[in-house]
Amino acid sequence: MIRKLTSISLKHTTLALFLTGSIAAASLPTGAAHAAGEAVYISSSSYFTLSQAALSSSSLQFAVSLHNGDAKAIDFNQYGVRVTDTSGHSYTAKMSEKKSASVLPGQDASFRFYANLGEGESADQLKIDVFRWDAGQADFMNHLGQLPVSSALGDGQVGVPEEIINLRTIDTTLANDSSLAFQLGQSVRVSENGKWYLYTQLSAKNLGSSSVKLPAGLQFRLVDASGLKYTSAIANGSGTTFLPNESDTLTLKTPISKQMAMSGVSLEFYYVNQSEDVTLGNMSLGTSLQTTALDTKQVYGGQQSGEQMTVKANSTKYTKQADGVHVQTIVTLSNDGKEAAAVPSFFAAYQVGDSGTALTAADNTARNAYLAPNETTTYYFNAVLPAGSDPNTAQLVLWEKTSASSGGSTTSSGSTGTSTSTNADTSTGTTGQMPVAVFLLKGAVEAQNGFTTAANYTLGSKLNFSDNAAVNKNVDVSLVELHAHENDDLGYKTAIAKYKITNNGTSTIALPELQNELLDSSGNSYTGTRQSSVAAQLTPGSSYVVSYSYLLPNSKTEDDGAFALNIYDDKSVSEGKVSIGTYQVALQKDEDSDKLDLYPFSLKVNSDSISWLYNNGTYSYQLNLDLDITHEDQVIIDSNFSKIEFDMIDSLGRIVGTQTSTLVGTGKLTSGKQKVVVSGLKDEQIDSGVVVNMYEVIETPNGTAKRLIKQFH
């Protein structure tokens, strides 16, 4: 059976308090009683005033102060108050604290009251009726005057959904003034493991004079427009201690049906008295149900008091591919305050349709623990939606990871530990994650081909990256070489790119691994493969050259050599990749010249000739070279640098011998005359039409990449 919470009359309450000695008696002062301005006078020097009014949808809490300017003590027991409205309704006011009723001459005393109201009452309709008990009156009251409630409301009271709950109603061991004023924050509808939940944030302010926790008997539930009830659990904050006159937050988690209409839903506060549900109050959720549009800031609800953090989904882009719709949303967290603020641990989930489908997306970028004032950090969330999905109808739920704290509540944390719940129903209790915002992705745009949006770039200049942890801020990267080698036998050609990486910092750093690709005009992507061996670290003030190879088709179009170079990060996101810069590049044309560029070296061929020798039944080919070799740029060169390979090819195109040299280390090519000899040839391999191809060779995880740099006849 369900009934509304009832209250006894003020007269009975006051008399009961008087009889139990909670308010000490004193003699009634003489003098005329009259109202003047916002005070009710009982003499020329003594009067009542109203303060600390807090109005909710169904209750009012306020304080009446007695100012004694007379020469005798005044007994507050001889007076009473009630709440009235402009329609003539009156509501009993209950005293919510124990204190002496005797107010000595020259002193002031404040008495706190609580009243349950009817629906629809507003502050400008309500007044506090002050009276003196008088047995000669029909209603036992001599009405002295009225005090307007609107003038005593605290800041932010008007229009804020609020419910004041007297906790002593639930737990009689608490002080009489143990009350919490609940205000609605945001409510969001989210999907977890194929089921729908409504998370609701509540701010609770302690209106009492001592610290309190939520009584175990205080319960919450949602009631929809049809009267169906959905039990709520405290997902965060069940063990919170509320300090006097301070606010803290709670988060409720309620399992709901996917068909549940959000209009007309209310949050009900109640407790169970034996077999009866006793309703303490309710709040409409209409104003708290929130979704946020793209490029719109929302206050981050998990921040500490005094912080000014906001979150925003800047944009969403997508591409339709064979395996589904690839989508990326950029989210920023900004510190708009004047003090440093802790950075929470965020992840996200894309909600598609009403089926409960939720696709998790993580950004694992390493970040500083705090954001400085006016600083922003960026998150990239990627996922592959089912084929045929329209990202414009999807939602992105921004979640915060939480960890368990004492008392069974959870607190915000950058850790990823799983929290536990003190609720009996663990499926709706603490989950280790709390929703921050639900972003509507209406306005998502199909991503353009990076080939058309790439920035202009000059070979050898610095590549300007967007802010990302993949490349240290003290590192400069430039593309210094991009060549290709045709290989008709294998049906593809190999492009080789060299990157100069410079450490401008003051400490040794790990050599960054640049994830990159070449994009052609049709949107095709050719992933770069780094050379097999590289230096592990880069010392301050030094530069290092790293080579990447790309397998390209043997196409013959006019724009065959034009590409977009996309540098990206695929380590920080759970799906896809994040571009940190896209640049217009083109394959360098290899001209038949005696000057050869193999960054950071240049080779000039002064003369060359080919001959063959016979010695005791063995034939050898010999390439005679006169070279000038210059180390053009002072970068670190080690044994991992590319090698030079000489292939001797007969008139039928067959390789009859190979010799390998280097530009560094033992046996390297040097300036002056060189001899490259291939020996041990068979009689049938002797051919007057032999040529020698000179290649630059790089070892990659995918095999050997070769670039033809010179041919000798």
User: What single DSSP character describes residue 676?
Assistant: E
User: What single DSSP character describes residue 289?
Assistant: B
Instruction: Provide the pairing of β-strand 492-503 with 543-553.
Output: antiparallel
**Half-sphere exposure at residue 58, Cβ-oriented, CA atoms within 13 angstroms:** 16
The three-class DSSP label of residue 344 is coil
Give the pLDDT confidence score for residue 566 in this predicted structure.
96
Given a cut of 60, whether residue 147 has pLDDT beyond it is yes
Confidence of residue 541 (pLDDT cuts 50, 70, 90): very high
Interval 647-660 mean pLDDT: 84
Residue type for position 415: S
Better-scored residue on pLDDT, 559 or 476: 476
- Ranking 114-123, 327-336, 639-648 by mean pLDDT, the lowest is 114-123
Given a cut of 60, whether residue 24 has pLDDT beyond it is no
The three-class DSSP label of residue 531 is coil
Given a cut of 60, whether residue 635 has pLDDT beyond it is yes
Phi, psi of 392 (to 5 degrees): -65, -20
Phi-psi region of 394 (alpha: psi -120 to 50; beta: other; left: phi over 0): beta
Report yes or no: 283 and 238 within 8 Å, Cβ to Cβ.
Answer: no
How far CA 54 is from CA of 8, 123, 163, 189, 211, in Å, comes to 21, 10, 9, 30, 19
Instruction: Spell 210-245 as b/e; 16+ CB within 10 A means b.
Output: eebebbeebbbbbbbeeeeebebbbbbbbbbebeee
Given a cut of 70, whether residue 7 has pLDDT beyond it is no
Given a cut of 80, whether residue 590 has pLDDT beyond it is no
Give the pLDDT confidence score for residue 448 in this predicted structure.
85
User: What single DSSP character describes residue 685?
Assistant: G
Q: Pick the closest to residue 218 from 162, 268, 175 (CA basis).
A: 268
Give the pLDDT confidence score for residue 684 in this predicted structure.
59
User: What single DSSP character describes residue 138?
Assistant: T
Report yes or no: 251 and 204 within 8 Å, Cβ to Cβ.
Answer: no
Estimate to the nearest angstrom the gap between the alpha carbon of 647 and the chain centroid: 56
Better-scored residue on pLDDT, 422 or 345: 345
Provide the β-strand partners of residue 657: 648
- Percent of the chain's residues with pLDDT above 70: 86
Give the pLDDT confidence score for residue 12 in this predicted structure.
36
Overall residue count recorded for the chain in this entry: 713
How far CA 203 is from CA of 122, 183, 357, in Å, comes to 21, 5, 31
Which tokens belong to 586?
A: 């083109």
DSSP codes, 363-377? B-----SEEPTT-EE
CA distance 567 to 578: 9
Number of H helices, E strands in the chain: 2, 54
Locus of tokens 């691994």: 513
Give the pLDDT confidence score for residue 420 in this predicted structure.
29
In sequence order, which residues have a C-beta less than 8 Å from that of residue 684 and are 6 or more positions away? none
Report yes or no: 47 and 39 within 8 Å, Cβ to Cβ.
Answer: yes
- Ranking 88-92, 273-277, 540-544 by mean pLDDT, the lowest is 273-277
Confidence of residue 438 (pLDDT cuts 50, 70, 90): very high
Locus of tokens 């506090």: 128
CA distance 518 to 520: 7
CA distance 441 to 704: 45
Confidence of residue 419 (pLDDT cuts 50, 70, 90): very low
Given a cut of 60, whether residue 18 has pLDDT beyond it is no
Report yes or no: 648 and 678 within 8 Å, Cβ to Cβ.
Answer: yes
Instruction: Give the CA diameter of the chain.
Output: 145
Better-scored residue on pLDDT, 147 or 163: 147
Confidence of residue 14 (pLDDT cuts 50, 70, 90): very low
In sequence order, which residues have a C-beta less than 8 Å from that of residue 289 and are 6 or more positions away? 186, 187, 188, 189, 262, 265
Give the CA dihedral 672, 676, 677, 681, nearest 10 degrees. -150
The three-class DSSP label of residue 427 is helix
Interval 222-238 mean pLDDT: 92
Q: Pick the closest to residue 378 from 478, 469, 265 (CA basis).
A: 469
Phi-psi region of 433 (alpha: psi -120 to 50; beta: other; left: phi over 0): beta
> pLDDT (tens digit, 9 = 90+) per residue, 682-696?
665 566 677 888 888
In sequence order, which residues have a C-beta less than 8 Å from that of residue 677 and are 6 or more positions away? 620, 621, 622, 623, 659
**Half-sphere exposure at residue 237, Cβ-oriented, CA atoms within 13 angstroms:** 18
Report yes or no: 195 and 255 within 8 Å, Cβ to Cβ.
Answer: yes
Confidence of residue 564 (pLDDT cuts 50, 70, 90): very high
DSSP codes, 642-672? -EEEEEEE-TTS-EEEEEEEBSSSTTB--SE
CB atoms within 10 A of CB 669: 17
Report yes or no: 557 and 604 within 8 Å, Cβ to Cβ.
Answer: no
Confidence of residue 154 (pLDDT cuts 50, 70, 90): low
CA distance 62 to 130: 13
Provide the β-strand partners of residue 502: 476, 543
Average pLDDT, the chain: 83
How far CA 410 is from CA of 114, 206, 398, 653, in Å, comes to 32, 20, 18, 73
**Half-sphere exposure at residue 154, Cβ-oriented, CA atoms within 13 angstroms:** 15
Report yes or no: 164 and 59 within 8 Å, Cβ to Cβ.
Answer: yes
Give the pLDDT confidence score for residue 490 in this predicted structure.
63
What's the burial of 697, exposed, middle or buried (CB within 10 Å: 0-12/13-18/19+)?
A: middle
Better-scored residue on pLDDT, 523 or 400: 400
Give the pLDDT confidence score for residue 484 in this predicted structure.
83
Q: Pick the closest to residue 388 from 449, 440, 322 (CA basis).
A: 322
Maximum mean pLDDT: which of 418-432, 451-465, 641-655: 451-465
Given a cut of 60, whether residue 475 has pLDDT beyond it is yes
Locus of tokens 């929470």: 344
CB atoms within 10 A of CB 302: 20
Give the pLDDT confidence score for residue 276 in this predicted structure.
87
User: What single DSSP character describes residue 636?
Assistant: B
First to last CA, the chain: 104
